[in-house]
Amino acid sequence: MKVAPLHKAFLEHGDRVRHLIVHTGQHYDEAMSKVFFEDLELPQPDYYLGVGSGSHAEQTARIMVEFEKVLDRVRPDFTIVVGDVNSTVACSLVSVKMGIPVAHVEAGLRSGDRSMPEEINRLLTDAISERLFVSEPSGLTNLRKEGVREEQVHFVGNVMIDSLLYYRKKAAGSKMLERLAVTPGRFMLVTLHRPSNVDTREGLNRILSVFEQLQRSPAIVFPVHPRTRKMLALHGLESRAKAIQNLILIEPAGYLEFLQLLDNAQLVLTDSGGLQEETTYLGVPCLTMRENTERPITCEVGTNELCGQDVGKIVRKSLEVFDGKPKKGEVPPLWDGQAARRIAGIMMEQI
């Protein structure tokens, strides 16, 4: 979702630059990878590393070894990395050590929680990047505090919103709502996958307790992340989940299918970073099952509310939405669908 608008923006400068796509294979599940390339109209990756799963150390090391081979062969003028996953920091480290400057898209986001692997990835990547592209004002403040030079930092807006705006009309033609037999504006959409929520029996019990207390409410649509499904089975909780009357458990959805669900949801419960942003843009109330967020603008001006792992608070806030009392919000600055063009324009000045 972040690379697609960037690729399209660089195609507009095709007479001056060649933009190559490297798919590390970190997100190795076909339903969460291949289908996204198709939905987002991306070409086949120029390089596919196929690193697959593993511990953080194993995955990061494999990416570094394989990406070094790509850089040896291509020798690009710049490496552009997005987000905060292991691929982000791994490719940044290899590039910088080979003398290739790095541009980081979504720079400056901070949760303040160093127990999150993503927070470490963000900090390390920003520390060694030459160009830092910021999606919200907090990023500017954070990077200034960390001593990053002003001329390296560019407030450009949010590439996730670029994708949302570009594909929203196409997503409206999906058959997902019809297939699930849910009414637009009358269902809750859930995505939960972070270790703090799904890796323990206690965490899963909390999630199921929320669902059980909302059984008399509208339908709950839950595309189950492979990690979450694995943990439900491991802790013997599959039958409990299936017994919840209005809970609809489905396989991970493609981008267009999911966007249709998101655009028509009455409420979202999540621990995802990107969804906090998308719900804010769409004006959909969002409850985040985390103690902190690296995207504070979604709480400050958007529709997002942090609930931690407080089951009572999540249930209470959900019922408020179902009773017609949702949190209202507004769209943050520069979330206008033009972030990737701004990034491409700045990058072209460097080449």
Residues assigned a catalytic role: 193
Would you say 140 and 231 are in contact if contact means Cβ atoms under 8 Å apart?
no
Phi, psi values for residue 18, rounded to 5°: -110, 120
From CA 62, how far away is CA 68, in angstroms rounded? Answer: 10
Q: Which residues contact 178 (CB under 8 A, 6 or more apart)?
A: none
Enter the DSSP assignment of 269: E
In a 3-state reduction of DSSP, which class is residue 259?
helix
Query: Which whole-number Å values give the CA distances from 182 to 122, 185, 196, 255, 265, in the listed order?
Result: 38, 9, 30, 18, 10
Residue 21 one-letter amino acid: I
From CA 239, how far away is CA 202, in angstroms rounded? Answer: 16
In a 3-state reduction of DSSP, which class is residue 106?
strand
Spell out the alpha helix ranges (H) of the chain: 3-11, 34-39, 56-74, 86-97, 117-128, 137-145, 159-171, 176-180, 195-198, 201-213, 226-234, 238-242, 255-264, 273-282, 297-300, 311-322, 339-348
Terminal Cα distance for the chain, rounded: 25
Residues listed for the chain: 351
**Helix pair 117-128, 86-97: axis angle to 10 deg:** 30
